[in-house]
Structure 1
Amino acid sequence: MKLQRSIVQLGLAVNLLAIVLMPLAARGHESRPAYLALNETAPGQFSVLWRTPVLAGMRLPVALNFPGSVRDRKEPVVSELSDSLVERRWIDAGPTRLAGERIVFSGLQLTITDVLVRLQRLDGTVSTVLVRPSRPWFEVVPASGITEIAIGYNLHGIEHILFGFDHLLFVCALILIVPNRRILLWTITAFTFAHSITLSLATLRLVHVPAPPVEAMIALSIMLLACEIVRSRCGQIGLTSRWPWIVAFSFGLLHGFGFASALMDIGLPHGDIPLALLSFNVGVEIGQLLFIGAVLGVFVLIRRHQVPSRIAGAAVPVASYAIGIISSFWFIERLTGIIG
């Protein structure tokens, strides 16, 4: 009886979070960052790669503005990809070599997207900065070592998992189907270990899996967990209820490819790949733990209050069907995109 009451209360907690996530459900990973790479090829001369994501067929409304002293050495080249617009430029920054100059991203303050900036000097020193909408510009300063790279990729990992609503719904389903805290710990650990493996393999290009099928299968994995929750409520004990860590590990391998796709969208700094990969992975785990802590925190708050039996009894089924409906929509949408 105590276990059943805990499941109902946890279901109510997840249901409240699902209501918050519902308006954002269809957005998927629309918070992909823009990316600016500046590579000094000669004193004061830079090759520039400026990549902005394309969302729903529309380019991110952000313009790259260099200081007035900067001039183009030749005409820019623009390439249109399926998910981004890439502009290549060759500039001459003069004797200042951009030191102390401010680069502005006009329109960034009107978005929820960050810009990852990587500056490589002629002497090999590297500076990496994460520019946020609240401060849509940055001043070029001498590189300060590996700390900026670690912090930049760590923050991006946190933001990716917190804005990756499909991954969050999967974790929600795991929490809902595994009421025992000890088993839940092992289940989340298995999920984390699995997606860390495929994230590393895919990012290092040891394994390649196309992104669209992966995204569709991630949505399918959430659907399957939602079905398992409903089945367990009907007294049918499935594989996930018996061995949740095995299922979490198997699907975690799939989700790792999704994380890798996001990391490759922004690119990895040459010479700093191990550090960037580790920092991003740690950021993903921090974001995941923050989300789990928030869900369990809401659960604790609800447990301290009396919940009407009619509402409590409907909490788990409603949460299960909400997760199933959202993931079904994602699966159909992504499968249609692959076929189309």
Structure 2
Amino acid sequence: MLDGEVMEFLINGDEPAIQLSESTPGVPVYLSIGVEHLVFGFDHVLFVIMLLYFVNKPLDILKVVTSFTVAHSLTLALSAFDLVTLASAPVEAIIAASIVLLAYENLNDRPSLIKQFPALIAFAFGLLHGLGFAGALAEIGLPENSQLMALFLFNVGIELGQLAIIALVLLCLTLMRHRVWFHQVSYQLPLYVTGSIASYWFIERSWQILS
């Protein structure tokens, strides 16, 4: 810029051009990128939905969501600054496997560690999901002079998208639990569909690793 200010911009398929002006946004775009990545990252959405099936009480929901948030925020930050690095392909395959596992456990009536300690499981798998978020962020890159702020906004965007999904799912579950046919259709059908989709993802991603 003429006044010596350095500004950085992200150009993608949705916004292939920029208009230089005093009001042109730079780093703040990472907030919307975070929201979009969560909302349209269907594996992350399905995982969050499967987690919500394990808990009913508000306090338990808060514990699970907080554990997942802390975990993925931790590995996202560590990976963004190359303090933790793992190949994205195995991470994505394990994320798919985690969804299959949660769908199976929700359909299984027997007691298990996942059902007894859902917050702990949310934290453990949240570490993997953070690496998945980091892989997507690595494709975009962080602005050299504003890495911390861009990372912060990206993570905040993820949390906003996550909260929107959680609110929608809880609303649907609350409304449908008062229906007689809830357990037969509204409860089990999403579990079978989610498990099938995640199984396909796991096979596809595992095949890509081996091929």
Answer whether TM exceeds 0.5 for this pair: yes
Distance 1:310 1:302 in 2: 9
Residue equivalent to 2:159: 285
**Other structure's SS at 1:205 match:** coil
1:125 aligns with 2:6: yes
Matched ranges for 1:43-54 at <5 A: none
CA separation of 1:269 and 1:150: change in aligned 2, threshold 3 A: closer
1:331 aligns with 2:192: no
User: Residue 139 of structure 1 is aligned with which of 19, 24, 27?
Assistant: 19
Residue equivalent to 1:188: 65
1:208 maps to a residue whose letter is T
User: Residue 294 of structure 1 is aligned with which of 168, 172, 185?
Assistant: 168
1:229 aligns with 2:106: yes
1:172 aligns with 2:49: yes
Question: Over residues 188-230 of structure 1, what are the superposed CA-to-partner deviations in whole Å (9 max), with x where a residue is unaligned?
Answer: 1000000000000000011110000000000011111111111
In structure 1, runs of 5+ residues without a counterpart are: 1-98, 100-120
Residue equivalent to 1:243: 117
Residue equivalent to 1:271: 145
Greater Cα offset, 288-297 or 148-157: 148-157
Shift of 1:136: 5.5
Matched ranges for 1:143-222 at <5 A: 148-222=25-99
Structure with the larger strand share: 1
2:66 maps to a residue whose letter is T
**Under a length normalisation based on structure 2, what TM-score does the superposition of the two structures give?**
0.91
Shift of 1:124: 5.8
Counting matched residue pairs gives: 211
- Cα RMSD after superposing both structures: 2.2
CA separation of 1:212 and 1:129: change in aligned 2, threshold 3 A: closer
Distance 2:171 2:150 in 1: 31
Structure with the larger helix share: 2
Q: Does structure 2 conserve the Cα–Cα contact (< 8 Å) formed by 1:149 and 1:276?
A: no
Residue equivalent to 1:9: none
Larger radius of gyration: 1
Shift of 1:331: 0.2
- Matched-pair identity in %: 39
In structure 2, runs of 5+ residues without a counterpart are: none
1:192 maps to a residue whose letter is T
**Under a length normalisation based on structure 1, what TM-score does the superposition of the two structures give?**
0.58
1:262 aligns with 2:142: no
1:316 aligns with 2:187: yes
Shift of 1:149: 3.5
Question: Over residues 59-84 of structure 1, what are the superposed CA-to-partner deviations in whole Å (9 max), with x where a residue is unaligned?
Answer: xxxxxxxxxxxxxxxxxxxxxxxxxx
